[in-house]
Structure 1
Amino acid sequence: MLLTHITLGLPTEDQMLPCLSKQLLDLECPGCGLQRSVVLLLQGEVKASFLMYPGLYPLILLFALIVFDRIFNLSFGQRGIAFLGLLTVGTILTNFIIRLIL
């Protein structure tokens, strides 16, 4: 028996926080799709999650590295955090610009 988002307790589209930018300006913000992408990832839909919001994956890696650096004081921690931070911002902005153009 397959588990669905209802049995997992994951929010549905109508239960998610609305994007004020989209509601007020009719323009998607750089964060549009993040919630849906997280839900898709938790449902095991890795490809659909990536297509919805590509910035989620470097963001997860960034948060994981920050936690591990704080716990274990990694020698490469600050450089890795800076790199992943730039990668995350670059991915989010690139995705945002592409969505604006298309």
Structure 2
Amino acid sequence: MTYDLILLRHGHSVWNEKNLFTGWVDVDLTEQGKLEAARAGELIAASGLAPHILYTSMLKRAINTAHIALDQMDRNWIETKRSWRLNERHYGALQGLDKSETQQK
């Protein structure tokens, strides 16, 4: 038996918009991010793929992206497993800092 692995990054977040290091800070999606998630779900559905289980990080931007995409696929009923091990990289003291300003320092 073979399986397809679908990898989906979270949509545009509030801190992406501000050009800040996010890491484990639990920020929301922007409206653009929600639209990106919906479009991803449409594309996955159009490809004929039908996920049977969802693995996501503990961060709401990833969870919300996945749920919006699944809703577009009419698959929002599938089992979901969350793990901190799938969280974005932890940036430590860089979290919350402006990326451009930090690069200049």
TM-score normalised to structure 1 length: 0.29
Structure with the higher fraction of residues in strand conformation: 2
Larger Rg: 1
Higher relative contact order (CA 8 A, sep 6+): 2
Structure with the higher fraction of residues in helix conformation: 1
